[in-house]
Structure 1
């Protein structure tokens, strides 16, 4: 190692003041006239100013006035440069540098100015000393990205530099010092290493066989890259209080594995991570929030923990530990966070792939266990799966193919076209694919199969993405069925012949018996039952072609069936429609057998069966729609309830700010805008609740005629001058049972929809009439007396498909941003909740008529009562017990009650409130939420009233089911303002 003390070193002599060589004498030779002073130090920024003001008494360089011209020239060049440079001069290598180099020195600046080179960079001296010796020996050196472990900021850090050391000669040509031009490349080196590391990590994660392997690969790679003592993953358990460590890379310490409590490592630290903040600690002993005993037990002094937070829940963390204190650099923390993001994505992908493989294995095992052919195709019919039964039956290993190829290569030639026609029809209509065909076996013989498949749709778009099907062997059943049908057909043919011979059966049979000449395709003979069924006399049918009576849509199928008869095949259960004499159509089912040039048939009128089947299918579809709407109603009702809880503190806080007039004019305008938006959100939630049939309705007798007339001006101003508004309602119109506020909102929504459907103007007609519904009226209503409220427009109208979806929540044809899609669904929910119905009549280009059917009320509407006076904001009104499980709602409501003069006691649950009651807590008023975990607000109210009958009770809820709520409990709907709360309390006090 080079001796750092160069003052007595003779291997690299420096010139003395007398020009001779030696190790003693004045510090610098070649000094010029002191009158030259230090003019060469003019400028140079902070470093030049520092040199000019520096006390050089203790510096090995001496005063600048004595510096030789060679040193002055180099220093002048250095101070004028924007590139990091320094000069080391003289036997003790006195250190001079410019402003850019001062940034490299860090905390060593400004004390490094004029100091000895070795004293400044003692920690890297073993690395740079050989290069210094070479420069002082007259040999220039260059190093690129040389790693150096420096201490510039109070701690050791790894750095990289690219630099050159050049010898500097004095006036006598002797090397008197060295000059360095350098640049720090730490960021570039770290960035390159980081890129290389992340690329290698990505490859390892791609090759990981499962989630555990992905975590192990990440921990090992990151631990080696950072030189950490421990890297691992911890996963938060369902209880939210324990973490499970299953993967850990350890170097020189024991791995952390097993179950641990979160509070063992400091609740403050865990809470910060729950909020998604990366926890960075350089020394746990210097951080009072850390639990020292826990960290000492696992030999950890410094750590970084990166949390994985999804949808507000803390799922897991990636941690990196050091045994000793460690000043984490920003690059290290950024790398750990990047690795956490990538590794968790890989872990979740590996978990998904693992579960997918498990699911596919279970599915294949289940499918192979079924003794029938199971298959899957994509939307176009390209096969994606056949189970083992396919290969066992056909003798051909499964290979991906298409539906036409399967039909051509495996299905009987006579059945292929019908198979593809049925599949194409199923794809076109989106209905079930159902067909019977014969499939060739491995032996070359054919067996009959019943094929059925259902479409699977993309949940987001509703488009068919694949077909799931099964082919069931029905060959034995088919043969038995055909034998039986053939026997029946033969018997029926004989019946027809004998009937004609004997006359009695022919004349009185209820079945339609006929003989058709195959060559001419005309009726030779028909029995009287044809007249009873179709109205044609027998002479009007006989000698006429059968095609004269067939429905146009059934003509092709009938011709195909008749062609089979011409080929000598029987027709079994063929159905088509025949025209009646009065212009109607009847469905007929044929069993026909050819013999001797004639077709002998026994035909039944199956029109009633068809109609029953259609009614059944319509009922099933209505049931599916009802179940769908009920499910959506439950979902939207729950969401709306949660939104009301969120809106309550928002509306309350904004109302308080407005009432107190806080802020500047601009701030008050912003508060007013926020309050207006909150009101719009409140209205939106009310619409959701109306659709879900969960809004708290105040159902009273309503004078519909008066209500509609009173809204005429508002509707006219809303629709604009291009639209004529007409109101029609009888003078003696009975009252309806309804909530007037909700009914007004529904009418306004329907009027806005009508306006949007008439962009060029038109007529909006609102009418009301009394209707009496008996049985069989066709509406989903009980027989009884109703008020039919109609909102009709002359606008664009809707097609059948659009009208069928019109009452679905969020369905809108107005385009993005032009409507919530809740207007009709809200009106539909309101009518249904009141025991009525909503009906839509619409045709494209002819307008739309929306009918609201509301039950009539047997009670006359009462005159509007004067609103109770609000409770004043001054004075004491007593003590109020406030119960709500939502803390923010409770805080907002407590503030309102305090403003109204109440002393407030708060409880977070009904059980906590019961505890206060049992402990003798005094209060005059109970204000409680309804829906809470455990006991409901209704249950709490009954319990408090039983113990303290004098206590007044106000029930507050985002929504309330009618069941389980006593009618004598006053209710206030969330969200609410202070004035609304005050009015409810005033009403409560007035009624006692």
Structure 2
């Protein structure tokens, strides 16, 4: 049987192209499959090696021909190459060509028989898969999240670039468990592995928050989700696709919100305690006065009521202040202020607390005035708060030092004590809202934990700075406040003006109209003003107020806003239009203390806006200021 017969028989068993090359004669024979595969007849294919070479793609030709001749020359048993052949229509198809070499009796290569298998479609699929894989990797590397793929047994098949960038790990972590032990926080790792195993057995999505170690050793919170990919028919899990999302900032924000919520609850509990304590004392004292109105201790009972009322007022003032200050609604009334005067006033304000706890207070200050531009009332508030804190948080018989100096262009106030001191973690939050150093059921220190927040904001409103130092618990504390010194020494006239503003002038002979729909408030306020030597009239609504004002021509009008019928704003506007009251000093008395309330009052014609309960000394100073306008 000759070669052509053999090729025809083989062709019946396969659709592949079969070729037979006689190496000695150079004759190359083809089977009929070339027609279906390439579009040529065997004769058109030619029977020489050169004809075959001409059909090879130019980019592949030299590689393939050289490889064939090398296999023959070296006496190889076989040869194979993948290359492109030109079809009749001019297109190229990719073939896998395999040939086996026969030798003669002397061992010389004499014949080669092979087959061409069209792999064009398979190579197209493989190329598409490679392109798809490349696109997936590009996409996976482009996202900020960590992406990973594992087989059903937990063997890692893929990590995207973010894994290596964040963890600094190489690709030696071959399993999910191994990777977990390398980067998951020790406190989280067992919980995480248990959850992964449960998801593996149940086939459910794994979701967990955990801390992952970065390459610098820090840990950040991540939300890790692993989703199973299953065969459509069997439902068998064949892959796990995982995504790890950095939620560290969100986690910290949540913790901060939880901490703020805890502080809020603590604050409300403290507020309830701080309000109930003076109310209980007042209620008990009132009961005692009802039962024993003529008792010798009545004066002492009234003193208790007065102190507890002031305590309640201070609490409300602090609450209003912290709301205004932290929202930037405080407006400073700046003027040249001698800080030495502020020291005197602040010491006077805390004297009773200092005496109660038997503290020793040492004051050091220069003999010359220390002038700053500021709001005298707010500056006093700052120093009173710092001194009161020192007194409260120092055990009885302690030492408090107050030092006023100048350093360069700054005035410096230092308040030092040998009290309970502060831990470093307390120092970091000492100016935070509700950041009281310690809390206990006894509430011996008192306060709402908002004073230092107010102080810090007020200092900064004055262009100053505040710092705190403590060597630790039971080693005392030091607060340092710095304000810019005034640009120039104030004139004598300005100095005298400041002195006069800081003094209350107890002049009598002022006609005062008190208007309040609460007869008790109006009556008690009238009694206080009468005790100060003033002539007082009372009205309980706007109509009566206008009538009395027209008759009595008051120098001062203290006017409640929330009156029935005609409100205080309208009453004020009408009084400003009447000759009898157009020049009177008018103050609004109200429970509303927002900046918008004050602006509304001033727009209606009021000179001052007082928030109830009004400090009596402040109110008397306002009334006394009208003495120079009193009728002879």
With normalisation by structure 2, the TM-score equals 0.51
1:536 and 2:169 aligned: yes
Secondary structure, counterpart of 1:755 in structure 2:
coil
User: Do the aligned residues in 2 keep the contact of 1:941 with 1:953 (CA within 8 Å)?
Assistant: no
Structure 1 residue 985: Cα displacement: 3.2
CA distance in 2, matches of 1:733, 1:518: 78
User: Do the aligned residues in 2 keep the contact of 1:726 with 1:764 (CA within 8 Å)?
Assistant: yes
Secondary structure, counterpart of 2:388 in structure 1:
helix
Within the candidate set 567, 573, 578, 1:947 is matched to 578
- Give unpaired runs (5+ residues) of structure 2: 1-125, 287-293, 325-329
Structure 1 residue 908: Cα displacement: 1.9
Alignment correspondent of 2:226? 591
Aligned residue-pair number? 447
Distance 1:616-1:590 versus aligned 2 partners, 3 A rule:
closer
User: Do the aligned residues in 1 keep the contact of 2:516 with 2:541 (CA within 8 Å)?
Assistant: yes
CA distance in 1, matches of 2:272, 2:209: 44
User: Do the aligned residues in 2 keep the contact of 1:871 with 1:985 (CA within 8 Å)?
Assistant: no
Within the candidate set 885, 907, 923, 2:553 is matched to 923
Alignment correspondent of 2:499? 865
Within the candidate set 549, 566, 578, 2:212 is matched to 578
Structure 1 residue 928: Cα displacement: 2.3
1:822 and 2:440 aligned: no
Distance 1:549-1:764 versus aligned 2 partners, 3 A rule:
farther
Cα deviations by residue, 1:883-920 (Å, 9 ceiling, x for unpaired): 23333443444455556666544322222212445xx5
Indicate the RMSD between aligned Cα atoms, in angstroms.
6.5
Alignment correspondent of 1:749? 388
Alignment correspondent of 2:253? 615
Alignment correspondent of 1:988? 626
Alignment correspondent of 1:187? none
- Give unpaired runs (5+ residues) of structure 1: 1-494, 651-663, 771-786
CA distance in 2, matches of 1:636, 1:870: 34
CA distance in 2, matches of 1:528, 1:603: 14
Within the candidate set 161, 171, 186, 1:552 is matched to 186
Secondary structure, counterpart of 2:210 in structure 1:
strand
Secondary structure, counterpart of 2:215 in structure 1:
coil
Alignment correspondent of 1:689? 316
Secondary structure, counterpart of 2:499 in structure 1:
coil
| Equivalent runs, 1:105-120 vs 2, <5 Å | none
Distance 1:806-1:760 versus aligned 2 partners, 3 A rule:
farther
Secondary structure, counterpart of 1:749 in structure 2:
helix
CA distance in 1, matches of 2:586, 2:613: 15
User: Do the aligned residues in 1 keep the contact of 2:515 with 2:539 (CA within 8 Å)?
Assistant: yes
Structure 1 residue 704: Cα displacement: 9.4
Distance 1:824-1:611 versus aligned 2 partners, 3 A rule:
closer
CA distance in 2, matches of 1:849, 1:741: 20
CA distance in 2, matches of 1:794, 1:529: 49
Structure 1 residue 535: Cα displacement: 2.5
| Equivalent runs, 1:53-72 vs 2, <5 Å | none
Secondary structure, counterpart of 1:578 in structure 2:
strand
User: Do the aligned residues in 2 keep the contact of 1:880 with 1:904 (CA within 8 Å)?
Assistant: yes
Structure 1 residue 970: Cα displacement: 4.2
Structure 1 residue 573: Cα displacement: 3.8
Distance 1:747-1:936 versus aligned 2 partners, 3 A rule:
farther
CA distance in 1, matches of 2:151, 2:614: 83
CA distance in 2, matches of 1:972, 1:734: 27
CA distance in 2, matches of 1:797, 1:913: 58
Distance 1:604-1:762 versus aligned 2 partners, 3 A rule:
farther
User: Do the aligned residues in 1 keep the contact of 2:431 with 2:453 (CA within 8 Å)?
Assistant: no
CA distance in 2, matches of 1:983, 1:884: 20
CA distance in 1, matches of 2:137, 2:619: 85
CA distance in 1, matches of 2:249, 2:168: 20
Distance 1:614-1:636 versus aligned 2 partners, 3 A rule:
same
User: Do the aligned residues in 1 keep the contact of 2:466 with 2:480 (CA within 8 Å)?
Assistant: yes
Distance 1:889-1:752 versus aligned 2 partners, 3 A rule:
same
Structure 1 residue 743: Cα displacement: 3.1
With normalisation by structure 1, the TM-score equals 0.35
Alignment correspondent of 2:5? none
Cα deviations by residue, 1:57-91 (Å, 9 ceiling, x for unpaired): xxxxxxxxxxxxxxxxxxxxxxxxxxxxxxxxxxx
User: Do the aligned residues in 2 keep the contact of 1:883 with 1:890 (CA within 8 Å)?
Assistant: yes
Distance 1:532-1:818 versus aligned 2 partners, 3 A rule:
closer
Cα deviations by residue, 1:737-783 (Å, 9 ceiling, x for unpaired): 56244334322332233215xx797998999999xxxxxxxxxxxxx
CA distance in 1, matches of 2:373, 2:481: 12
CA distance in 2, matches of 1:573, 1:983: 68
| Equivalent runs, 1:313-352 vs 2, <5 Å | none
| Equivalent runs, 1:315-394 vs 2, <5 Å | none
Structure 1 residue 684: Cα displacement: 0.6
